[in-house]
């Protein structure tokens, strides 16, 4: 029997990305921000982020800002600038998104030593309450406006959310890197094959939906509500994909609970943009891809000490047993009829 200790399993080789973060001291953070003309007042708070390193800084003579230091090696400069350009485009349309601040030269992406970073305005607020029908409708409006802008051009350097990149590549990485315990490996391979097959069927039923520029990781954790208005943050995973990707993560509970939530979201959405109901066939497929991708994401980052601390339950026997079970449950859900869109 293999150990249940999550640290005892084979981890990915240590990478320069995680090593580089060890050099990101408070003095380096402050020096980086000062290099673009912002002078810290000594206040520095680490925010809840693992993929990147994100800090709230007090600034002399002005409001606090958020500095995001990008994970070395993940994105090219061109991909980061494309993210920045998209959010700046959205902000120009008065959509409440967190767009990066520019320096005196109009630049949003900055370099300091081994790091690339951007500075953002600091938004306050609380997490959204998903039983608030008016808030769901407001979120639907904002997503539709993001998509109206997103359909005006294509990304050149950002990824696509598709079966190959989120599903096949995730499975292949976990198997090749030897994260799956030997006694679970046959079940994992079998359930992944079945899940990928069902995902393909879901995409066929959806009729190969149109892809457009998306937030890509739009869930309640990336929304801050202040004075009744939702502010949308963290476009780090912006990508091309189907419109439903930016809606389904606000559905919670069973089908009976999700149906009215979906109705409110789409009531707001369709005030600004048409919605193709065939995309409802993708909800459980996209959830399955997210489950597969999330496991591979944790595995790819397992050499970063911050991940072992934040996700101590990952990579043990119990985790992989439950992962296989979750994929089996998703296969059953993908065989069901999609949610019904009941107009309100």
Active centre residues (catalytic): 217, 234
53 - beta bridge partners?
69
- Can you tell me the distance from the alpha carbon of 74 to that of 156, in angstroms, rounded to the nearest whole number? 16
CB atoms within 10 A of CB 169: 15
Q: Which token pair is 107?
A: 């630049």
Measured in whole angstroms, the distance separating CA 137 from the mean position of its chain's CA atoms is: 21
Measured in whole angstroms, the distance separating CA 65 from the mean position of its chain's CA atoms is: 21
- Can you tell me the distance from the alpha carbon of 228 to that of 245, in angstroms, rounded to the nearest whole number? 24
Q: Which token pair is 63?
A: 């409001």
> Comparing C-alpha atoms, which of 292, 312, 46, 328 is closest to residue 170?
292
276 with 150: CB under 8 angstroms? no
Q: Where are the alpha helices (DSSP H) in the chain?
A: 16-21, 26-34, 77-92, 133-150, 169-176, 185-206, 255-269, 283-300, 305-310, 317-334
Measured in whole angstroms, the distance separating CA 188 from the mean position of its chain's CA atoms is: 24
Angle at 192 between CA 187 and CA 193, to 5 degrees: 100
CB atoms within 10 A of CB 343: 7
């Amino acid at each position: 029997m293999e150990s249940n200790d999550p640290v005892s399993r084979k981890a990915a080789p240590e990478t320069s990305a995680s090593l580089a973060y060890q050099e990101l001291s408070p003095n380096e953070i402050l020096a980086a921000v000062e290099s673009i003309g912002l002078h810290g007042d000594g206040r520095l708070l680490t925010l809840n982020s693992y993929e990147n390193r994100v800090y709230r800084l007090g600034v002399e003579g002005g409001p606090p800002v958020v500095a995001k230091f990008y994970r070395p090696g993940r994105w090219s400069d061109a991909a980061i600038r494309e993210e920045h350009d998209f959010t700046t485009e959205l902000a120009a349309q008065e959509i409440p998104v967190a767009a990066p601040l520019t320096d005196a030269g109009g630049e949003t992406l900055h370099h300091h030593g081994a790091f690339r970073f951007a500075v953002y305005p600091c938004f306050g607020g609380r997490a959204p309450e998903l039983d608030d029908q008016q808030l769901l409708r407001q979120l639907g409006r904002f997503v539709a406006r993001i998509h109206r802008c997103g359909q005006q051009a294509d990304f050149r350097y950002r990824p696509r959310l598709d079966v190959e990149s989120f599903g096949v590549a995730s499975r292949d990485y976990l198997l090749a890197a030897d994260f799956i315990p030997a006694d679970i490996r046959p079940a994992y391979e079998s359930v992944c094959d079945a899940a990928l097959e069902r995902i393909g069927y879901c995409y066929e039923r959806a009729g190969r939906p149109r892809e457009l520029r998306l937030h890509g990781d739009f869930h309640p954790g990336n929304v801050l509500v202040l004075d009744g208005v939702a502010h949308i943050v963290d476009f780090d995973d912006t990508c091309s994909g189907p419109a439903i990707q930016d809606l389904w993560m606000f559905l919670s509970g069973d089908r009976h609970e999700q149906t009215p939530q979906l109705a409110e979201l789409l009531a707001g959405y369709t005030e600004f943009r048409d919605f193709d109901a065939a995309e409802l066939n993708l909800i459980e497929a996209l959830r399955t891809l997210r489950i597969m991708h999330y496991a591979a994401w944790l595995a790819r980052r397992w050499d970063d000490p911050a991940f072992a601390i934040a996700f101590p339950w990952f990579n043990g026997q119990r985790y992989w047993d439950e992962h296989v079970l979750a994929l089996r449950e998703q296969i059953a859900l993908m065989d069901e009829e999609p949610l019904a869109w009941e107009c309100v």
